[in-house]
Every structure is written in C-alpha cells, then in structure tokens.
C-alpha cells in the first residue's frame, strides 16, 4: 500500500464526473488499498477516488457503522432530513453546515464486483451522500452557505 496525495480545491479534477468501474482487477484493489491508507492517515470519515486524482466511481466511508468500499454506488432512496456540520479532506481548515437526507439506501459493488445494498442513517448517511457527490464532481461547499474557518 502507498499513501496518495489528496487533491485540494480549487483543482478542476474535483469538479469532474467520474466514470463507472468495469474491471474488478488488481489495479482497482491497489487503488482501494492506497485510498484506505490515505484515509486512515488523514483521519477522515470518507474519501472518493477523484480526491486522489482518479476519475472512477470509487469511494470509501469509515464511520462507527463500519468501513465501506463503494464501487459504482447509486442512491436508491432517501428519507428524512438532517442538518449538520461537514468538512472535507480536499477543503483543508474549513467546515460548513449542509442539509442532507437522514437515511439513504445505497446500492454498490464491492471490490470483486458483487452487488450490496446498504441502509444507513445519521452521520453515516451524511458521509455516503458526501462521497457519492464527489463522484459527480460536487464538493460540499456548493451546498452550504456558511463556510467557516477552523480555529486552531
Ligand atoms: Co469530501
């Protein structure tokens, strides 16, 4: 495994729509393993492939509900609403308030191409939506109107 560099805004790669994954091969597994190491080191709740400059529909979510490898994830349904604080490893030192669905049902493939359905709520649902947005070139800053500086 190798740690990769996390792309920062306003890099245009973060605004691009990612392509579907078609090959579930060693190249994908290396990307997933590298992303996992990068995410752990950064102590984030999620990381999407475009954040390491790879325009593929691949995302990781790491919350108290588990560690999820999401390949070609699709939100099948949304329920309720939650408003809370969000940050992003590509928007260092800032945070903002974003309103999202409180519960989502997401269909995604695993690293071997097998389909799974995940039903998550609360913070995990927020993380799933944030990471899936990245795959469509959407950074949370476009969804919040109170971007704030982190104090240290
Ligand atoms: Co992010």
Is 131 among the residues known to form the active site?
A: yes
Options 41, 64, 107, 131, the catalytic residue: 131
Q: What separation in Å is there between the alpha carbon of 37 and the centre of ligand 1? A: 16
Residue ranges with strand state E in the chain: 46-48, 58-63, 66-79, 82-86, 94-100, 103-109, 115-121, 148-149
Break the chain into its structural domains and give their ranges: 12-149
Residues 35-53: pLDDT tens digits? 999 999 999 999 999 999 9
Residue 31 has pLDDT above 80, yes or no: yes
Task: Quickly name the fold that domain 12-149 has.
Answer: Peptide Deformylase (3.90.45)
pLDDT for residue 152? 67
pLDDT for residue 1? 73
DSSP string for 70-99: EEEEEEEEEES-EEEEE--TTSTTEEEEEE
The C-alpha atoms of residue 143 and residue 69 are separated, in whole angstroms, by: 24
Two structure tokens written together for 14: 């973060």
The C-alpha atoms of residue 103 and residue 82 are separated, in whole angstroms, by: 9
The pLDDT mean for the chain works out to: 97
Residues 126-150: pLDDT tens digits? 999 999 999 999 999 999 989 999 8
0.85 surpassed by pTM: yes
Please tell me whether residue 19 adopts helix, strand or coil conformation: strand
Q: What separation in Å is there between the alpha carbon of 127 and the centre of ligand 1? A: 9
């Amino acid at each position: 495994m190798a740690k990769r560099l996390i792309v920062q805004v306003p890099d245009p790669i973060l605004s691009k729509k990612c392509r579907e994954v078609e090959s579930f091969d060693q190249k994908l597994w290396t990307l997933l393993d590298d992303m996992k190491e990068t995410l752990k080191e950064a102590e984030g709740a999620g990381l999407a492939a475009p954040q390491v400059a790879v325009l593929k529909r691949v995302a990781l979510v790491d919350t108290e509900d588990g560690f999820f490898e999401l390949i070609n994830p699709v939100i099948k349904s949304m329920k309720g609403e939650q408003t809370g604080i969000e940050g992003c490893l590509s928007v260092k030192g800032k945070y903002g308030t974003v309103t999202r669905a409180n519960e989502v049902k997401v269909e995604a493939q695993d690293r071997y191409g097998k389909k799974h359905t995940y039903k998550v709520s609360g913070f995990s649902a927020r993380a799933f939506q944030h990471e899936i947005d990245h795959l469509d070139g959407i950074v949370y800053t476009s969804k919040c109107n109170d971007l704030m500086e982190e104090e240290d």
